[in-house]
Structure 1
Amino acid sequence: MSEPFLSPSWHRVGPLRPRLRPNLTIRRQRVQGGAWYVVHDPLTGKAHRCGPAAYSVLGAMDGRRTVDEIWREAAERLGADAPSQTVIVQLLSQLHAADLLQANVASDAAELLRRHAAQRRRDRIGRFLNPMSLRVALLDPDRFLAATAFLVRPMVSWAGLLAWLVCVVAAGLVLAPHWHELTGNLADRVLTPQGLALVAVVFPLLKALHELGHGYAVKVGGGEVHETGLVFVALFPVPYVEASASAAFRSKWRRAGVAAAGMLVETFVAALAAFVWVTVEPGLVRAVAFNVMLIAGVSTLVFNANPLMRLDGYFILSDLVEVPNLAQRANRFYGWLVERRLFGAEVERPQGSGAETAWFLAYAPAAFAYRMAVLVGLSLFLADQWFVLGVAMALLGVAMGVGLPLAKMLWHVVSAPRLARVRGRAVGVTLGSAAAAGAFLALAPMPLWTTTEGVIWLPEDATVRMGVNGIVRRVVALPGAAVRPGDLLIEGTDPTLVAEAEVLRAQIESLDARLVAEQFSDRVQADVTRQDIAAKREALARAEAKLDALNVRAATAGILEIPRVEHLEGRWVRRGDMLGYVVRPEAAQVRVVVPQADIDLIRRAVHARILLPDDLWRPIDATLVREVPAASDRLPSRALAADSGGRMATDSRDPKAPRSLDRWFQLDLALPPGAVTSHYGGRVHVRFDLGSEPLGDQWWRRGRQLFLSRLAT
């Protein structure tokens, strides 16, 4: 159901003779097969879109005809598609608020000045109340960009895009062999005082080039750029350029190109830095090149290219899917859903096709969730360094991101004229929804679980290891064979050790012959020879023991498993290297590490489930059989360490024994017989089902644990 065709406020606007400001430009665009018109204000650089019906009204605003005459002409010309009086009143209000309209009233000039000052005050207040980005305008760069645009014009072309692609791909190929060097020990290199100082210098310079890319793309496309300044992200100054003039460009590809220009510049500079990084020796220049690559990569992936924040990725998405003003329209669509479906108000449905509606439904909640996640992350990062500042930013962010929208919504419910006929229902639904949500969070039991990681663990006597350094000569028992204790599994050899044993035997034989000759003629020398023989026999015994240790035997009964057995013969292996397993299905266990914050919950776990990395859809039930009563920082296996793909951050100063930066409790879980026949020693995912608990309690516990752990309180 739409809004009334006739407006009760028509007597106020009908006699006015409005006209658009003479310096405005109107351009036509094609969006999803239909025509849209963009009104561009060159003074502010802002653009405003309207449909064909609204454009027919705008085009008739010449200062001579009244609003009533314009509306009647539109009704005769457009018939059923003509806008209602209510729509015309809303259109005039929007034009008035945007300072695009002049009317035949005596206070025209004074009113324009008053509205302009009020708008500037609202902009300043909005900028400083936004904890994510405090904006301060500094300069008008239009003349500078116009004077220097010829320098970059050749790069804003297909040839320039091809050159960028070649450079970035080449840099990726150059960096590929150095990937582990590039990403290893990242935190220790960046979060040092020297690393943070380099970031503080490189970041604004790189972002200045990023914003120049936007400015030049607008200028080369025929637009104007009248504002540049600083935006304070987490109180750190970052340059910005107001490039909204690109919204008036006819081609969606050109508009998307302006949005992408900054990221293209950043990645191009990062590619050049990659060539420097692989060329120069370690030092200041290499460190600067590394920071350029890091900042360009992180800022592009996490922020600029992400369409859930109103940065470059958002405008690229909005232009390419042809959904103008996606964020605002998505919020308005959800507002209409609440007013129409829940409150029962007779309000007009926002314009939008079926495809646009799908974007509205998906975008608004996803963008809100991502903004909150970024706010929490930034707040925790600042709190790690400056406690009071981080907490203040978190409180301000929650107030502005959640509290203020809720307050506006409540004020809208109790004061909006469009809800006058359904005020009681609107207030009742709002209060009832709040009460229901609170009761649900506080009382409704929901599944509770926690996850961690472990390794499939076998007893030490079940592992097949080489006793000494040597070469595998022959695999005697094939994988899958049943073996008993003492059975020969693998024959090994060591040419050096074999030669040493042969030399010792020859020496002993020579000494025995000398002893026969000396024992009757020279008893003193015979005693010396006997001592030499004893020493040689001891050396031979040790050599033969090592030769025997080259033959690997089963220490327990079970089924032999040797991974990649076809590559084993002829391979040099070190002492203690694991070659395989003697599997006893009933003996398989999972050794799990549990954070201290979760150990009390896990002690009352209903049951545990194991998920193998190569079969995540087949959980395996497990039973708790043992708990080490004290927390430790030693991990049972390096497979759990972060540098091996696990969750646990380890101390890089102790490469031999994997020591975690946190302390963990160790549990042993028994698996059902035959549940696991491979993957021994590998990492697995473990889920403990803990029954049920209201979501409010779960969120409170996790939030408190996060607060205490991150702030060391």
Structure 2
Amino acid sequence: MATDRPTFSESWYRVGPLKPRLRSVVQTTRQQYRGHIWHILRDPANNKFYRLDEPSYHFVGLLDGNRTIDDAWKKACADLHDAAPTQGEVIQTLGQLYQNNLLDADITPDVSGMFERQRERKKREVGGYLMNLLFSKIPVWDPDRFLNHWTPLVGWIFSPIGFLLWTVLIIYGVFNVINHGSQFFNQASAVLSPSNLGWLFVSTIIIKLVHESGHAFACKYFGNKENRGGVEGIGGEVHTIGVMFVALIPMPYVDTSSSWTLRNKLHRAFIGAAGMYLELAIAAVAAIVWANTAMGTVPHAVAYNMIFIASVTTFLFNANPLIRFDGYYILSDLTEMPNLANRSKEYLYCIIKKYIYGVPNPNDPSHSAAERPWLLTYALSSAVYRVFISVGIILFVADKLIILGLIMALSTVIGMVIVPFGKWMHYLFTSGELRKNRTRALTATFSTAFVAFLLIGAIPMPDRSRAQGFVRPDQITTVYAETEGYVEAILPSGAFVHPDDDLPLVELRNVHLEFERDKLTAQKHEYLAKYRKNRTEDIASAKAMREHLDAIDEEIKRADRDVQRLNVKAPFTGNWIVGNGDSITGQYVQRGQEIGQVASLNDMQIVVTANQFLGPRLYELPNEKVPVEIRIQGRPDLKFKGTIERVIAAGQRDLPSEALGQQAGGEMAMQQDEQSGQMMASEVFFEVLVNPDRDVDFRLYPGQRVVVQFDMPNKTVLAQGWRTFRQLIQTRFQI
């Protein structure tokens, strides 16, 4: 039965007689990780590093050029007993030392080939080649002598006093931003405007130069600090500064890998954070300049760009540990998990090999059982985030230059899909590691691919879409003032009303109307007396007075109607809805002014706004009486059914309720219409009328926001994904 660490190797006879030793120029540093001693080997010629645990270093230390590998291994077994490295681990260690140019030995061609195959085997992990064509580096200059000269002068900024001053500066900078908060956020929309792109690029280069200088000076400062006696130039060497292309945009970079030799993990972590440390200081200074300069001036615009770059982009990219920027190295140092990215991928491959392909004793990069969940979690989350950030960069570039975006998208697909797939197939069909399990590996791989194809491209899956709507009564009428007057009384909102009620909805008072009616009545009595007197004496005058009396009667009837209209009645049976009843009491209302609404709350209807992608798809439904699922927004536990009554095909932008706009917490983006000046939806939408089922066991209230789920005809995941991709392209590029 195979063990996790087989003691012997079938290739041992080829390396046992050799007499290698470490090269004389190799430098060694001892570090402690999680209570265990590790040894860092460094080749100063190429600034490459290799890490050995205590048993492996003990074995390598026995290789003096006179003792054979077999003799050294036997002595290590005698010294360390069960902790001694196995023959397979010895071969792996020697192969890596040889490939990193740290081993001095006369290696025969067949052994060299074995070591080469060992290296290639390590590189051919399943899916291990996620080529990233969006990033490349070009070294330019060796700044080590420059840093040796200037670090004593500027290194104080990393000292406790420097940190204290940095904290005060950050607080003062934040204070300036808070004092101009509305102006700060309003100016954000102009950062990517064409007129600002030049200043933005210049500001970015300046910020990143300071950022990389922070890494370099911190590495030299803490390296000198850890070196005995503080001898300048020995600890924390920095030999490379150059240009890195991020999404084809040139950015400076510096190689501070020598910080790996520092013993204090807090020093290593601070070196990783030094770039952000200085960036935030610049952001604080820029905030002070921005707050004290006039809008529209060059210093004001440049200062805002620096705030944006040195704060927002720092936290989105550099501080994120899922990509190999500063946050990644800080996390590795603080958790004492060096080479976290590669080891996490290797552990993921180890799981695939061991439990799916059945490879006996695959290389397990974890150093303890506690590390394994973290390695697996990091491998999966970092892979997802790399895809996310690559897509984000491509879309950003394509917004500005669509041809360049297409080229980057093609190169990314090649590097992240096609090339890894080719490497994977090459591993499956040719790797010596699978010679005893190749049939199982191929069967498992192609069976998984077949099942994935069925799930993604062959089996129809539920296709659901959601849209926001609001509840409104099926019968609702707005009540307007039929005449002007002062509000003396108004019914409370929610009161049940009837057209024949004695108590009006609103009681108005207009002294002028009542006085006018009384005046007309008095005039009528006066002319009536005159008419009766002249009816027998002057027939012609009496006839004229009769016509005048008829006119006064009409005016009195009109005045009576106006006075009666001061008491506003309900148009039909329902509930009285008024939003500001108490506040309008005593106010003067004009004729035609809206006062409230009367609605029949027994019958409700739901109005849904479907965007331009969902609206046309609703016509794929077999008929309009299709059931839908409805949930009260904010109360997902309250759900009920309904049916589609009608889809209004004409696209519109005038929202049926302000509650659906983003300003009121809805989902529809709003913008001001140029002609009317009113706020309208940014994009056209389709209005869908839905009737809720009558057996709802809770009360619906007018104005409630709801989320309606439409169950479309089933489609494959591939078809749904392709539709989503096309919608994304249409939305982003208006094509």
TM-score by length of 1: 0.81
Q: Rate the CA distance shift 1:413–1:659 in 2: closer, same or farther, 3 A.
A: same
CA contact (8 A) 2:130 2:415 kept: no
Change (3 A) 1:239 1:554: farther
C-alpha contact 2:672 2:678 (8 A) present in aligned 1? no
Aligned residue in 2 for 1:308: 322
Task: State the distance in 2 between where 1:61 and 1:34 align.
Answer: 23
Determine which of 302, 307, 319 is the counterpart of 1:288: 302
Letter in 1 for 2:342: Q
Corresponding position of 1:278: 291
What residue in structure 2 maps to residue 208 of structure 1? Answer: 209
1:266 Cα deviation from its structure 2 partner: 1.9
The within-5 A match list for 1:87-166 is: 87-104=89-106, 130-166=132-168
1:700 aligns with 2:729: no
Percent identical: 33
Q: Look up the match of 1:79.
A: 81
Match of 1:195? 196
Partner residue of 1:242 out of 226, 233, 255: 255
Asked if residue 669 in structure 1 is aligned to residue 690 in structure 2, the reply is: yes
Distance of aligned partners of 1:683 and 1:311 in 2 relative to their CA distance in 1, 3 Å threshold: farther
In the alignment, the residues of structure 2 paired with residue 471 and residue 23 of structure 1 have an alpha-carbon distance, to the nearest angstrom, of 99
Does the aligned pair in 1 maintain the 2:495–2:576 contact within 8 Å? yes
- Counterparts in 2 of 1:313 and 1:72: CA distance versus 1, 3 Å: same
Deviates more, 1:613-622 or 1:236-245: 613-622
After superposition, the C-alpha distances for 1:301-328 in whole angstroms (9 at most, x for unaligned) are: 3211222211122222222233222221
Residue 227 in structure 1 maps to residue 243 in structure 2: no
CA 127–368 in structure 1, closer or farther in 2 if over 3 Å, else same: closer
Structure 2: gaps spanning 5 or more residues:
121-127, 224-235, 528-550
- Does residue 445 (structure 1) correspond to residue 460 (structure 2)? The answer is yes
Q: CA deviation at 1:288?
A: 1.9
Q: Tell me which amino acid in the other structure corresponds to 1:323.
A: M
What displacement does 1:419 show?
A: 1.6
How far apart are residue 331 of structure 1 and its match?
Answer: 1.0
Partner of 1:368: 383
Q: 1:565 to 1:439 in 2, by over 3 A?
A: same
Alpha-carbon distance in 1 for matches of 2:325, 2:591:
57
Whether 2:597 is the aligned partner of 1:595: answer: no
Q: Distance in 2 between matches of 1:376 and 1:576?
A: 55
Task: Give unpaired runs (5+ residues) of structure 1.
Answer: 119-125, 517-533
Whether the aligned pair in 1 keeps the contact of 2:130 and 2:416 (CA below 8 Å) is no
CA distance in 2: counterparts of 1:91 and 1:492, whole angstroms: 96
Of 417, 421, 440, the residue aligned with 2:432 is 417
CA distance, structure 1, for counterparts of residue 397 and residue 563 of structure 2 = 59
- TM-score, normalised to structure 2's length? 0.78
Partner residue, 1:522: none
How many Å apart are 1:83 and its aligned residue? Answer: 1.1
Give the partner amino acid of 2:710. Answer: F
Alpha-carbon contact 1:42-1:224 (below 8 Å) kept: no
Contact 1:641 1:658 in 2 (8 A): no
C-alpha change, 1:578 and 1:481, in structure 2 (3 Å) is same
SS in 2 for 1:374: helix
CA distance in 2, matches of 1:423, 1:441: 26
Instruction: Quote how far apart the aligned CAs of 1:67 are.
Output: 1.9
- Determine the structure 2 residue equivalent to 1:406: 421
Aligned residue for 1:7, secondary structure, equals: coil
Q: Is the 8 A contact 1:586 1:672 kept in 2?
A: no
Deviation at 1:368, TM superposition (A): 1.3
CA, structure 1 residues 4+438, in 2 after alignment: closer, same or farther (shift >3 Å)? same
Counterpart of 1:239 in 2: which secondary structure?
Answer: strand
1:139 counterpart letter in structure 2: W
**Closer, same or farther: CA 440–569 of 1 in aligned 2, 3 Å:** same
**Deviation for aligned residue 1:449:** 1.3
Structure 1 letter corresponding to 2:468 = E
1:523 match = none
The aligned counterpart of 2:278 is 265
- After superposition, the Cα gap between the structure-2 partners of 1:693 and 1:208, relative to the gap in structure 1 and judged at 3 Å, is same
- Which stretch of structure 1 is more off in the superposition, 429-438 or 60-69? 60-69
Matched, 1:22 2:38: no
Contact 1:610 1:619 in 2 (8 A): yes
**Cα 1:98–1:556 shift into 2, 3 Å:** farther
Q: Which moved more, 1:569-578 or 1:374-383?
A: 569-578
Going from structure 1 to structure 2, the CA distance change for 1:90 and 1:568 (only over 3 Å counts) comes to farther
Shift, 1:341, TM fit: 0.9
Q: Greater CA deviation, 34-43 or 440-449?
A: 34-43
Conservation of the 8 A alpha-carbon contact between 1:45 and 1:242: no
1:308 corresponds to which letter in structure 2? L
2:446 match: 431
- Counterparts of 1:492-511 in structure 2, within 5 Å, are none
**3-state secondary structure, aligned to 1:16:** coil
Contact 1:198 1:291 in 2 (8 A): yes
With over 3 angstroms needed to count, the CA separation of the structure-2 counterparts of 1:684 and 1:416, relative to structure 1, is same
Residues 658 and 466 (structure 1 numbering): CA distance in 2 closer, same or farther, change over 3 Å? Answer: farther
CA shift digits 1:170-225 (9 cap, x unpaired): 444443464444334744x1332112222222112112222222222212110122
Structure 1 residues 283 and 628, CA gap change in structure 2 (3 angstroms): same
Q: Secondary structure at the match of 1:631?
A: strand
SS at 1:221's partner residue? Answer: helix
CA-CA distance at 1:50 after TM superposition: 2.7
Change (3 A) 1:451 1:215: farther
Indicate whether 1:330 and 2:344 are aligned: yes
Native 8 Å contact 1:339 1:347 kept in 2? no
Superposed, 1:20-99 pairs within 5 Å as: 20-99=22-101
Q: CA deviation at 1:396?
A: 0.9
2:231 alignment partner in structure 1: none
Shift of 1:710: 2.9
The match for 1:350 among 361, 365, 372 is 365
Task: Answer whether contact 1:635 1:658 (CA < 8 A) is retained.
Answer: no
> SS where residue 354 of structure 1 aligns?
coil
**For the Cα contact (< 8 Å) 2:474–2:600, is it kept in 1?**
no
Which of 333, 338, 347 aligns to 1:319? It is 333
Distance 2:595 2:371 in 1: 59
Q: Taking structure 1 as reference, are residues 305 and 95 closer, same or farther at Cα in structure 2, changes over 3 Å only?
A: same
Deviates more, 1:664-673 or 1:635-644: 635-644
Change in 2 beyond 3 A, CA 1:180/1:459: farther
1:678-712 Cα shifts (integer Å, max 9, x gaps): 87546544432325322122112222332344333
SS of residue matched to 1:280: coil
Deviations along 1:266-292, whole A, 9 cap, x unmatched? 222222222333332211322222222
Report the 3-state secondary structure (helix = DSSP H, G, I; strand = E; otherwise coil) of the residue aligned with 1:364: helix
Query: Amino acid of the residue matched to residue 96 of structure 2?
Result: Q
CA distance in 2, matches of 1:645, 1:12: 73
Give the 3 Å change call, closer, same or farther, for CA 631–93 of structure 1 in structure 2: same
| Alpha-carbon distance, 1:415 to partner | 1.9
**Aligned AA (1:13):** V
How far 1:394 sits from its partner (Å)? Answer: 0.8
* Structure 1 residues 242 and 585, CA gap change in structure 2 (3 angstroms): farther
1:339 and 2:353 correspond = yes
> Rg: which structure is higher?
2
What's the CA shift string for 1:589-641, capped at 9, x where partnerless? 44322232223433446643344443234334343223221223444445444
Structure 1 pair 82–272 and aligned structure 2 pair: CA distance change class (3 A): same
Looking at structure 2, the residues matched to 467 and 252 of structure 1 have their Cα atoms a distance apart, in angstroms, of 80
| C-alpha distance in 1 between matches for 2:707 and 2:294 | 42
The answer to whether the 8 A contact 1:45-1:225 is kept is no
Q: 1:585 aligns with which of 601, 622, 630?
A: 601
**What SS does the aligned partner of 1:74 have?**
helix
Q: What is the alpha-carbon distance in structure 1 between the residues aligned to residue 169 and residue 506 of structure 2?
A: 53
Q: Secondary structure at the match of 1:27?
A: strand
Give the match's secondary structure for 2:10: coil
Change (3 A) 1:604 1:105: closer
Query: Could you report, residue by residue, the CA deviation over 1:425-475 in whole angstroms, capped at 9, with x for unpaired residues?
Result: 22222222222222221223333212333344457946689999999987x
Partner residue, 1:529: none
Whole-angstrom CA distance in 2 between matches of 1:17 and 1:228: 38
